[in-house]
């Protein structure tokens, strides 16, 4: 029987999502729990990888079990093993041809920035910039990121193809907490963190608004990267 689960996790407690030898990762923890429940080895396929320190409110994974378990009972069984730093939010049976990664239509990521005083208790969950930002300038600059583009200058590491599409970027302010929300088809390695880094430089007045346009228009030209920490990044949800 094939299942799809939606999970949340505290990324500060793991070395990322993907299985990495003997390191504590989300995939490894889930597979070990499911193998106990299934009484046989289980391999899960995630909708995507998140790096060390990146959190998730809505990550999805599919897997197969040797026998049928009612979804509600399966949720309780998994959570009894993986809580408190991973939590299964929902579970359902799916068709045999469904794939958690290849059937994705949209991913939503948040990046949280504390513009107020340093808060050590939130260090693992918000980027402690502790400076005010010109959000209007950042909003104006972010418009150059929306659409179908070659994002070479916003991705870390080699790829065969850097083309992608960002549907929308939102700026949500709650007191001193700024959340930048990205809606897109998919996101490559460090892509959100690199985009946020440049937007912050623009918000601090250290780069001009058209800096993003330069990078989009000149994908073969090398530019300095401004990669922010992983602690403020959240995979919010995935649309199928």
Region(s) of the chain under CATH 3.30.70.660: 106-239
At 115-147, the pLDDT tens digits run 999 999 999 999 999 999 999 999 999 999 999
Distance CA 224, CA 238 (A): 31
134 has catalytic annotation: no
Distant-in-sequence, close-in-space partners of 53: CB < 8 Å, separation ≥ 6: 11, 12, 16, 124, 229, 230, 231, 233
Average pLDDT of every residue of the chain:
97
Identify the CATH class of 2-93: alpha beta
**pTM score of the predicted model:** 0.96
**Active site residue: 10, 51, 103, 134, which one?**
51
Q: In CATH terms, is domain 106-239 a member of 3.30.360.10? A: no
At 189-232, the pLDDT tens digits run 999 999 999 999 999 999 999 999 999 999 999 999 999 999 99
Nearest to 197 by CA among 165, 232, 234: 232
So what's the pLDDT on residue 166?
98
Region(s) of the chain under CATH 3.30.70.580: 2-93
Q: What is the mean pLDDT of residues 154-163?
A: 94
Distance CA 84, CA 12 (A): 13
CA distance to 3, 89, 119, per residue, from 75 (Å): 11, 8, 34
């Amino acid at each position: 029987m094939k299942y799809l689960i939606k999970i949340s996790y505290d990324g500060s407690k793991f070395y990322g999502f993907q299985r990495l030898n003997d390191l504590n990762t989300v995939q490894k923890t889930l597979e070990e729990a499911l193998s106990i429940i299934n009484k046989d080895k289980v391999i899960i396929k995630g909708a995507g990888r998140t790096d060390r320190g990146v959190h998730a409110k809505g990550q999805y994974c599919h897997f197969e079990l040797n026998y049928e378990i009612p979804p509600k009972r399966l949720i309780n069984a998994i959570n009894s093993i993986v809580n408190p730093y991973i939590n299964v939010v929902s579970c359902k049976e799916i068709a045999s041809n469904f794939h958690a990664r290849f059937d994705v239509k949209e991913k939503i990521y948040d990046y949280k920035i504390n513009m107020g005083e340093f808060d050590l208790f939130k260090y693992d969950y918000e980027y402690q910039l502790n400076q005010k930002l010109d959000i209007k300038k950042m909003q104006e600059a972010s418009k150059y990121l929306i659409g179908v583009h070659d994002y070479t200058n916003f991705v870390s590491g080699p790829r065969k193809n850097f083309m992608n599409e960002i549907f929308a970027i939102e700026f949500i302010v709650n007191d001193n907490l700024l959340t930048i929300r990205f809606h897109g088809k998919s996101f490559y390695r460090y892509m959100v963190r690199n985009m946020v880094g440049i937007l912050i430089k623009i918000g601090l007045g250290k780069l001009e608004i058209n800096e993003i346009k330069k990078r989009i228009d000149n994908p073969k030209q090398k530019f300095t990267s401004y990669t922010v920490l992983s602690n403020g990044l959240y995979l919010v949800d995935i649309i199928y």
